[in-house]
Amino acid sequence: MEPPATNRCHVVAVPYPGRGHINPMMNICEQIASRKPNNILITFVVTEEWLGLIGPRDPTMPDNIRFATIPNVVPSEHDRAKDLPAFVEAVFTKMEAPFEELLDRVEIPVIAIVADSNLLWAYDVGNRRNIPVASLWPMSTSVFSVIYHFELLKQNGHFPVDLSERGHEVVDYIPGISTIRLADLPGGLLSTDNTRQNILQKILEVASRASKAQCLLFSSVYELESQVSDALKAKFPFPPVYTIGPSIPYLKLEASKAKFPFPAVYTIGPSIPYLKLEASSPTITNNGLDYLKWLDSQPKKSVLYVSFGSFLSISSAQMDEIVAGIKNSGTRYLWVARGDASKIKDGGFWSHCGWNSTSEAIFSGVPILTFPIIWDQVSNSKQIVEDWKIGYKVKKGISRDEDLVTRVEIAEIVKRFMDLENREGKLMRERVKKLQEVCRRAIEKGGSSDANLDAFIMDISHGN
């Protein structure tokens, strides 16, 4: 018999209002809820707009997750890229009051708040109400370490710096991080532009205040980033550090794979249901069954899946070169596009290297063609191509709008990437299959992610 709701451990989860943050928070909540269906109740807090974007409740979602909303006190999701500093400022200053008002209205006492690391005000709310706060970092553990140890860059003369002149210089002093070039650090981290500097200061504060949390959650797999995870655990004996990833819907991915095997899909991007799907067959429409039938009709490992995420965009000129390059390569492709997809109405997709996309690709066991645009995507690309050696990088040099990758270069690298017979490609596919197995073992009973998730649940429900 199910116990009364009042006897449940009530956890409130509040993500940063962006798809790349909401998705991992939701996936973690579903994992927690499915493990303790009779003991934990999770209230998932989003803005009114975001509840509409999420759409009808997924029938597979555990019953012990419920949604609650705060007013639309931040700019619309459709406009946030137009003025990112204003959006960030609104998140930092306008969400706290309505969130606390929501806590005043809940009928069941809250035992813990799971908040995106970027929501600094969550610590203050927790302190005022004597509610412990767990901080979820939705990017790689490595990126967190780089940001947390930013002072080391200053001490070693690597900030401020002109990347066009010194981007090739090597950083080898950040705990747990393998040797990395300045140009491969998170995009914008070393920028001296005033606008980016303001955002940087907020991000540095996010990392520095992580020690205020009851525990730190990383949406990564320990074995993928073991050195940096160990370095952070040594740094943070308290709060405890839990690597509980991959924070992707892997249970649903497995179910989908059983129902619709996808032998043709090469690189996996973010799960973004509202995006338009276009493909290299003129018969493809937004109807899921149509594109699945098309995929099933293609030869194995012959389709390139292309996606550049749901937020920041590349220039129109670069998009023209990408579209022409893929078409000139003769490769079959499936492109997940947002907004006006007229330029790619005959097809398209590879990855911008957001952490969710990277995690999904590894979990699915497919190599990645990388095209980082900004921020952690730059460092993720370096891990993919140089550390794990499971992909190729398309974007060249330092991130600049004027450094266009031409259609000739794109066609050449796509052909090379899709060549199943070359030795380099075979080794790349063998490596990603090994990483896939590492991820799968991590989520199995007793695996690192499984054990860490159990430890976290025990931590937040202690005494209840």
Kindly state the tokens that stand for 210: 């992580």
DSSP string, 291-330: HHHHHHTSPTT-EEEEE--SS----HHHHHHHHHHHHHHT
Residue 226 parent element (H or E) = helix 226-235
Please state at what angle helix 355-364 crosses helix 19-35, rounded to 10 degrees.
Answer: 50
Largest CA distance in the chain: 67
Per-residue pLDDT of the chain (464 residues; tens, 9 = 90+): 344 455 679 999 999 998 889 999 999 999 999 988 888 999 999 999 999 988 888 888 999 999 999 999 999 888 777 788 888 899 999 999 999 999 999 989 999 999 999 999 999 999 999 999 999 999 999 999 999 999 999 999 998 888 888 989 999 999 999 999 998 998 777 777 766 677 788 888 998 888 789 999 999 999 999 999 999 988 877 788 999 988 887 656 555 554 433 333 333 233 333 233 444 444 444 545 566 777 778 888 888 888 776 555 677 788 888 888 888 888 888 776 554 443 333 362 367 778 888 888 888 888 888 888 778 888 998 999 999 999 888 876 544 445 788 888 888 888 888 887 788 888 988 999 999 999 999 999 999 999 999 999 998 877 44
Distance CA 447, CA 449 (A): 6
Provide the residue type at 47 as one letter.
T
Place of tokens 């992909």: 391
Q: Does domain 250-440 have CATH number 3.40.50.2300?
A: no
Tell me which fold the domain 8-248+445-461 belongs to: Rossmann fold (3.40.50)
Distance CA 18, CA 354 (A): 13
Provide the residue type at 156 as one letter.
N
Instruction: Select from 32, 35, 239 the least CA-distant residue to 132.
Output: 239
- Which part of the chain has CATH 3.40.50.2000? 8-248+445-461, 250-440
Place of tokens 């140089």: 386
Instruction: Compute the residue count for the chain.
Output: 464
